Amino acid sequence: MTNWRTIDTARKDGMPILVWHDHDSDSYVENKTTGSLTPYGCYAECNRYHKTSGPVVAVWLEGYSDDDSDGWGEPTYYPGWWFVDDTNFETPIAPTHWMPIEKPSEDVIKVYEHYITDADDIDVNYF
């Protein structure tokens, strides 16, 4: 996989990156004795998941705790994980590799600039 980097080196700053997703690369169960799930397994059980292997634009969601999400007064911890970008963190993926999304050339930007309606909405640090 030319130019692809292992996922453990990926940026986790909330900016989208291109990842190689492989559903079968995750064991799904972290501990067979207790039946505890991997982070991917946890999110895939609770949400839809991306079934097809291949390139996906993804974003990292930091782990967080919910004070009483289960209604029993116990906090629930949600581990940090990768999700398909622009799905409101509802579609987890199992990335194995990644690469940055390159900034488009000035020629490409010029072609599409008429679609930009408000320059304040552009994140200049996106690329």
Domain ranges, ordered by start, for the chain: 5-101
For residue 109, give both structure tokens. Answer: 């930007």
pLDDT of residue 119: 46
pLDDT of residue 60: 92
Torsion of CA 2, 40, 90, 72, to 10 degrees: -160
12-71 confidence digits (pLDDT tens)? 988 889 999 988 888 888 877 887 888 888 788 777 777 778 899 999 998 888 776 556
Q: Any idea which residue has 């930091």 for tokens?
A: 62
pLDDT of residue 122: 47
How many angstroms separate the CA atoms of 74 and 125, rounded?
A: 39
In the structure, what pLDDT confidence band is assigned to residue 104 with cuts at 50, 70 and 90?
Answer: low
